[in-house]
Each structure stands twice: as structure tokens, then as C-alpha cells.
Amino acid sequence: MQRVNLDPITFNQQVYDHASFGIALVSPDGLILTVNPAMEQMLGYSRAEFDGKRVGDFSHPDEAVRNIESLVACMETGKNEIQLERRYLKKNGENMWGLLSFKRFHNETGKLIYYIGQLIDITRQKESERRLQESVERYNSLKKYNHDAVISFGLDGRIINANNMAEKLTGYHIETELIGAELANLIGQANVDRILEKAIYDDSVEHEIDILVTKEGSSVEVLTSIAPIYVSGQNIGFYLICKDISEQKQLLLAKETAEATNKAKSEFLAMMSHEIRTPMNGVVGMTDVLLDMTDLTKEQRSYVEVIQKSGDILLNIINDILDLSKIEAGRSELQEHNFDLRKCIKDSFSVISKKADEKKIELSYTVNHDVPDYIYGDAERLKQVLLNLLGNAVKFTSKGSIEVKARLMKEKPCRLAFTVTDTGIGIDPARLNDIFEPFAQIDSFMSRSHEGTGLGLAISRRIIDMMGGEIYAESDGKNGSSFSFTIQFKEASQVPREQVFEDMLHNTGKVNILLAEDNAINQLVMTKMLEKLGHRVTTVANGKKAIEAARNHPFDLIFMDLHMPFLNGLKAAQIIREELKDKCPRIIAVTANALKGDREKCLEAGMDDYISKPVKRETLIKILHQLKK
């Protein structure tokens, strides 16, 4: 710092004018006697404004050393000068950092006659120091609190420093065990040699370091990065940054295990679906064939109807169990298309109307005027939920009424709200949440008088979740119950034409059909059902024979089972489609799986449609009717 030692005799205006820093002459009691132009310019006050002011009048209010007494008190014993960095307030209100040199002068007799203060503006220097300090602190924080281990080492292979995570990961104490130690203790000498030799120009070196050895001798799997340290353009060492990935490896292993378990669950589900539905196809199909016979006695027909009813109940139970399993295994998805909402509700009512009539229960539904006629969504899934709720309502209502209401919710995305209300036995309010759990029953198992698996509401909740909505129940436990649910939907892109299925049975005409099915019972069932409808049926037991038959005979329609020996139905359909091209008949997949993705696989293989077992007579009539279009 530039200094000026002024004798009182030579202390004049000329000195003030030429000094590049502020100078102030101060009386023994702290009164400012005069200042030079540099001081005026520095603080923004005129010389006249300094008159009558004291040294503390321009100090920042947060400064502890302000008046003449505190300044003198800071001087060391036997010293006549002090140097301080202090903050000042300029006239315009801005803060200024100044380096103050404050010196006292005595006369020949040793009497204090005045002080001289020299002030240099160091605001820019302090700002640079502040920024540098912030940068250092940010760097230290980044290094210290980094979630990865950061180790710096020199070109001699010895560790210079490390962060807390490195200490935690390796088990070595930073100050006493890591600093100055050989890096080879952690990653091996060969890896250290490769880093020092190649790391500056070869990024692949870091990929070879995947293990960090701890103090206990165990290995930690790591993902490594290497960064060179440069000072004045010269490489003086490297940073080794190690991420502990042992936990990620465990999560990945757990994920792979879960995926394998889910795959096994899905495969078991597919197998169970096939093994259960195949014999059920024989039971349901053969009862349809028997009931279509005209020579049955009244007693025989009643027996067959009992078999049919029992088969339908068993099939509903099987469907519930498989449906819930499919949804939970992620093997079920929505099949969306444009459909008539009001017709969907009417169809649901038609299924349960017979049982409601038997119990003299009044059925009604109301759809608000602003609800669109056609919407884009999954009609079958919506119908499944409505049937579950309506079926329960009929089951637990001995008299009174059941009502369905549908309204449009004023929000985005578009939502519909449905409410199914009955006058039945009601539900204990404490169980309103429990009933949506699998296998829950409204009435207790030991005393209940109603059939069912207790899966209907659990399946409904999962379907509603898939459709972007919510479902809940309300009841006081005495006066019936109310089930409400919402679904998201899209507006129909185009209004579908009504499909008229009347007189289907009489308008299909004779059709030449190839049935590829390896199960003898299912062969018999479908053959009899199709022949009863007046069609010609050729049966084969595997995919190879299906290809030969399609080559040698003209067929209008092929029903192709997916699971057959020698060659499965998917491959057989693909070959037939490729060979016959435009002359290929319609190919309908018949499967007992009915899982997510099966339909897409069938269509990709060249099939035209997809039906699941057990196959009912009405389903065959619809498929045959489509040949007329």
C-alpha cells in the first residue's frame, strides 16, 4: 500500500490534490479537519460537507470500530499506526470497502497534535475475494457432500485427499489412513498404472475399474469416472469418482426375479385357463346341442337345463378367478371402440331381468340428457362392471327396486358417473371398503345364502382403475345400498351404424367349414353345434393337417385352435394365409387362453377374428353372419 508521511509544516493543498487515495487530517478528539479531493470523490461528499464531521460518521453501521477511541484502542502498545479493512457508507447509500491506515503524530514535546487517515477503495478486490470464496465453498460442498466417493491423487499414485463418502465406502479414515496412502490399495496397482499412463487421452480406462477394495478386504461394485487435475496448464494428478452400484445391482436382481415370477405366474395362468376352459367347452357346448334337440322328454330337458345352469355357474366362477388373475398379472387390457352407451346399459338389464322378474323387483335406469349417445371406450368391460353391480343388487334384494343413473361430469378429461341403487339388505358401514377386496362376501361365509366367489367387486374395482376412474359404496346397513363409479371416456370419432342381428340364424346360408381342433370332445361339440346350424364341417387334429386340407379343398371358414401338436394354430394360419393369399378363407382363432396379447398375436399371424372357449352357439351364429357382409 502506498504511504504518505506528512510533516505538519509541509501538509498543504498540493499534496491533497496529487494523492491517488483518500487522505483526511483528524484532530485528537476525532473531528475531521480537512480531506483531499480523492477522499471527496471516493465517498461522494464535498469538502464543505466533511466540516464538523467525525471519523465514525461515514462508517457502516455494522462496523464495531467506529469512533476515534475504538481506533486508538486497536493500536498495539508502542505502535503509532493501525491498518484495518472497514466498510463505509457513501453519500448515495452504496457500501464501500476501504483499507484504512490510521497514524498519529506528536510534536517535539511528545504531545499528540493530529491523526492522518489514508483510505484506499478495495470494493472490487473484496467482491473478487467473495466470489472466489463462494466458488471454493461450492467446490468443497460438492466434493464433501457428493453421493459418490471422490478421491484425488498425484502422479506418484498417492492419495492427496478424499471426501466423506470415500471414507464411508472404503472404511478408511481420511486424515490418518487415506491421505498419503497408495491408491493401489483401493483399486490395484495395474489400474493405477493404466490411469497414469492413458487416462488423459483414453476414456476407456475408467470402464475397466469396477471394484473398490475396502479396509476390511471386501469388494464393492462401483461405476468409475476419472478426471485430470490441471494447475497452470499442467497435469498434476487425477480425481477418481466412484459410484456404489451394489444396491442398484440388488434392485436389478430383485427386478429380474420379480419379472421371472410374474412370467411364471402368467404362464401358469395361461395353462390353467387352457386346461379349465377346454373341458368346460365340452360341458357348455354339449348342453346347448342337447337343448336344441326336439325329441327330449320334459323330464330329460329339465335335467339338461340343470346341467346347463350348473355349468354356467361354474363357468362364472372360473371366469371370475381367471379374470382377476389376468388383471393382477398385467395380462388384461382394454379393447376400446365406439359404442352405444344406452344400448350397453339395456343389454346389462336384459341379462338380469329374468331373475329380477322372478323376485318381482322393479328395474329402471336414467341417463341425463347431456350424456352422449355414443362414446369411445371398452363396452364389454363397462358392461362387466354393470352386470357385477346389478347381479349383486338382484342377489341381495328380496323386494323393492333397482335403479341405475348415468350423468356427465363437468370436468376434463371427460368422465361419466354411474350409480346403482337397490333396496336390499344393505351393507355394514364398517365393511364398505372391505367388500372390494378379493373373496370378500357381503354376508358371512358360514351363514350366507347367496352363491358366488366374492370376486365381482374386486374385479370391478380393478377394471374401473384401468378405465381411469374410482368406485365406492354407500349404505347405512339397513336400507339398501348404493354403488357409484366413474370412468374416463373419449368422444366417439364417428357414430357407428346399428348392427342388426335379427334373423341371423336364417340368413347365414350353408357354409363349408374346416375345424382344426386336437381335443376330441371339443371336436364333437363344435361339429354338432355347426351341423345343427346346417353347415358342412371337416375336422382335423393338428396344424399340418389343417394346411393340407386348406390346400386341397375350398373352405368358406376355418376355426383354428391355437394349441395343437406338430404345428400350432398361429403358424398354420400364417402358412395358409401366405399360400392361398386372396383365396384364403376367413380364419377364426379358437383358444382357451383369452389373455392379454393373444388377440394381437392371432391378427399378426393372419387370422381374421378371435373367440375364446367355451364357445357358445350365439357366438358361432355371429361369426357365421359376418360372412354375409
CA distance 535 to 513: 7
Paired with 420 in beta bridges are 404, 483
CA distance 508 to 620: 11
Q: Give yes or no for a contact between 346 and 352, defined as CB atoms under 8 angstroms apart.
A: no
pLDDT of the residue at 498: 45
Which residues, other chains included, contact 606 with Cβ-Cβ below 8 Å and sequence gap of 6+? Answer: 573, 574, 576, 577, 578, 584, 587
Task: Say which residue, 143 or 561, is predicted with more confidence.
Answer: 561
Strands of the 149-154 sheet, one edge to the other: 159-162, 149-154, 234-244, 219-231, 211-213
SS3 string of 362-400? EEEEEECCCCCCEEEECHHHHHHHHHHHHHHHHHCCCCC
CA distance 252 to 448: 47
pLDDT of the residue at 10: 42
Q: For residue 406, what pLDDT band results from cuts at 50, 70 and 90? A: very high
Please state, in angstroms and as integers, the Cα–Cα distance from residue 432 to each residue in 190, 241, 426, 440, following that order: 67, 55, 10, 11
Q: Give yes or no for a contact between 238 and 227, defined as CB atoms under 8 angstroms apart.
A: yes
CA distance 368 to 143: 64
pLDDT of the residue at 216: 92
pLDDT of 501 higher than 90: no
**Nearest residue to 532 (alpha-carbon basis) of 282, 284, 290:** 290
Q: Give yes or no for a contact between 80 and 97, defined as CB atoms under 8 angstroms apart.
A: no
Q: Give yes or no for a contact between 253 and 261, defined as CB atoms under 8 angstroms apart.
A: no
Q: Which of 45-54, 312-321, 331-340 has the highest mean pLDDT?
A: 45-54
C-alpha cell at 384: 362387466
Paired with 404 in beta bridges are 365, 420
pLDDT of the residue at 435: 87
C-alpha cell at 606: 393372419
Q: For residue 604, what pLDDT band results from cuts at 50, 70 and 90? A: confident
Task: Say which residue, 612 or 151, is predicted with more confidence.
Answer: 151
Q: For residue 146, what pLDDT band results from cuts at 50, 70 and 90? A: confident
Tell me the whole-structure pTM to 2 decimals.
0.44
CA distance 190 to 211: 13
pLDDT of the residue at 583: 87
Task: Say which residue, 252 or 31, is predicted with more confidence.
Answer: 31
C-alpha cell at 471: 368406485
pLDDT of the residue at 269: 60
Q: Residues 591-611: what's their mean pLDDT?
A: 74
Query: φ, ψ for residue 319 (rounded to 5)?
Result: -60, -40
pLDDT of 305 higher than 90: no
Q: DSSP of 295-316, one letter per residue?
A: S--HHHHHHHHHHHHHHHHHHH
> SS3 of 37, please?
helix
pLDDT of the residue at 145: 65
- Residues 68-105: tens digit of each pLDDT: 888 888 888 778 899 989 899 999 999 999 999 999 89
Amino acid 233 reads G
Please state, in angstroms and as integers, the Cα–Cα distance from residue 259 to each residue in 118, 263, 264, 269, 596, following that order: 78, 6, 8, 15, 16
Q: Which domains does the chain have, with CATH numbers?
A: 8-128 (3.30.450.20), 145-244 (3.30.450.20), 337-491 (3.30.565.10), 504-626 (3.40.50.2300)
Q: Is the Cα torsion angle 132, 135, 139, 140 positive or negative in sign?
A: positive
Q: Give yes or no for a contact between 87 and 95, defined as CB atoms under 8 angstroms apart.
A: yes
- Residue written as grid cell 483510505: 119
Return the minimum-mean-pLDDT range out of 227-236, 489-498, 557-566. Answer: 489-498
Amino acid 230 reads Y
- Indicate the length of the chain as a whole number: 629
pLDDT of the residue at 447: 37
Which residues, other chains included, contact 511 with Cβ-Cβ below 8 Å and sequence gap of 6+? Answer: 535, 536, 556, 557, 624, 627
Q: Give yes or no for a contact between 555 and 514, defined as CB atoms under 8 angstroms apart.
A: yes
> SS3 of 106, please?
strand
Strands (E), 107-215: 112-121, 149-154, 159-162, 211-213
The angle that helices 520-532 and 617-626 make with each other, rounded to 10 degrees, is: 60
C-alpha cell at 206: 475408467
Q: Residues 395-412: what's their mean pLDDT?
A: 90
Q: Give yes or no for a contact between 43 and 69, defined as CB atoms under 8 angstroms apart.
A: no
pLDDT of 448 higher than 50: no
- Residues 351-399: tens digit of each pLDDT: 888 889 989 999 999 999 999 999 999 888 898 899 889 989 998 999 9
Q: Residues 7-26: what's their mean pLDDT?
A: 68
- Residues 217-237: tens digit of each pLDDT: 999 999 998 989 887 788 888
282 sits in which H/E element:
helix 246-291
Q: State the pairing for strand pair 401-409/362-367.
A: parallel
C-alpha cell at 394: 338382484
Q: Kindly report the average pLDDT of the chain as a whole number.
A: 82
Q: Residues 398-423: what's their mean pLDDT?
A: 92
Q: For residue 5, what pLDDT band results from cuts at 50, 70 and 90? A: very low
Q: Give yes or no for a contact between 585 and 624, defined as CB atoms under 8 angstroms apart.
A: no
pLDDT of the residue at 1: 33
Return the minimum-mean-pLDDT range out of 75-79, 505-509, 550-554, 564-568. Answer: 505-509
Task: Say which residue, 618 or 239, is predicted with more confidence.
Answer: 239
pLDDT of the residue at 186: 94
Cis peptide before 565 (omega within 30 of 0): no
**Nearest residue to 192 (alpha-carbon basis) of 207, 205, 179:** 205
pLDDT of the residue at 628: 63
DSSP 8-class letter at 166: H
Task: Say which residue, 464 or 628, is predicted with more confidence.
Answer: 464
Q: State the pairing for strand pair 536-540/512-516.
A: parallel
pLDDT of 578 higher than 50: yes
Q: For residue 444, what pLDDT band results from cuts at 50, 70 and 90? A: very low
C-alpha cell at 573: 394360419
- Residues 452-461: tens digit of each pLDDT: 556 788 888 9
Task: Say which residue, 514 or 19, is predicted with more confidence.
Answer: 514
- Residue written as grid cell 487416462: 199
C-alpha cell at 147: 453421493
Query: φ, ψ for residue 620 (rounded to 5)?
Result: -65, -40
N-term to C-term CA, the chain: 103
